[in-house]
Amino acid sequence: MVSHLAAQIELCKFCDSTNLIKQTGDAEPTSHYGHLTCGDCKKFITWLQDPALTEVFEVRQGMIRDLLKRSGSLNQCEAPFLRNILNQRYLTPKQQDWLDKIFMRVLGRVSPRQPAAKQNPPTQRVAGQFGLP
């Protein structure tokens, strides 16, 4: 998806253009959610973060803070683990599993599911191979 952002969001820091282009989804060639480029000077401005991931992250962070207040319910490995992942936006499946076990035991519920990590698309497509012109 390529869309033009409303002018109030940002100016290009290089040329002050308001013609910023947001690339996400299939238009985003990296493993990031998306990025912002200037439509005039074509320079990279910033990475974009997945809003769905941000929401999950904030709920999870609140739940982890809850756990850390109940340090009597945590063992000596769990408390450092929780502090370690508190500000981590994306958890590995292993971290998520461990966290859910602690959540279930102490709070009786698990954290919301984070959206699946984006897979790196093939780096190059040979013209014609996928029916492209």
9 binds Zn ion (CB under 5 A): no
CA atoms within 13 A on the CB side of 45: 26
7 binds Zn ion (CB under 5 A): no
Which one among 38, 63, 64, 85 touches Zn ion, defined by CB under 5 A?
A: 38
14 binds Zn ion (CB under 5 A): yes
Count of residues touching Zn ion (by CB under 5 A): 7
Q: Which residues pair with 36 in a beta bridge?
A: 22, 46
**3-class secondary-structure state, position 22:** strand
Cβ atoms of 34 and 24 within 8 Å: the answer is yes
Report, in Å, the least distance between residue 23 CB and Zn ion: 15
104 binds Zn ion (CB under 5 A): no
